[in-house]
A and B are shown apart, each in its own frame.
Chain A
Amino acid sequence: MSTTFWIIIAGAIATYLTRVGGHLVLSRFDTIHPRVEAGLNAVPAAVLTTLVAPAALGAGPAEWAALIVAGLVSLRGGLMSMFLAGAVVLVLARQFVG
Chain B
Amino acid sequence: MLFGAIAVDNGFSVFEAFLMSAAVFGGASQMVGIELFGHHVAPWLIVLSIFAVNFRHVLYSASIGRSLAHWSGPKQAIAYFLLTDPQYAFAESEAQSGRKVGFVWYMGAALTVYVSWNALTLAGAIAGQLIPDTSALGIDFLLPIYFLGLVMDFRKRPLWLPIVVVSAIASIVAYKVVGSPWHVSLGAVAGVALAVILPPSHSGIGVDPEHLP
Contact = CB atoms under 8 A, between A and B. Distances in A.
A8 to B, nearest CB: 5
Interface string B1-42: 000000000001000100110011110010001000100000
Q: Main SS of chain B's interface residues?
A: helix
Contact of B55 (A18, A43, A75, A90): A18
Contact of A11 (B46, B55, B164, B187): B46
B152 A42 contact: no
Interface residues of B, number: 95
Nearest to B190: A46
A49 B141 contact: no
Given A42-B191, A47-B188, A22 B200 contact: no
A22 B65 contact: yes
Contact of B147 (A8, A38, A46, A51): A51
CB-CB nearest 9 A-B residue pairs: A46-B191, A23-B65, A22-B61, A22-B62, A50-B187, A42-B195, A12-B23, A38-B203, A50-B171
Given A40-B66, A49-B191, A70 B149 contact: yes
Interface residues of A, number: 67
Given A70-B145, A94-B136, A35 B152 contact: no
B152 A71 contact: yes
Contacts of A21: 57-58, 61
Contacts of B206: 34
A49 B69 CA distance: 27
A32 B206 CA distance: 12
Interface string B77-92: 1001101010011001
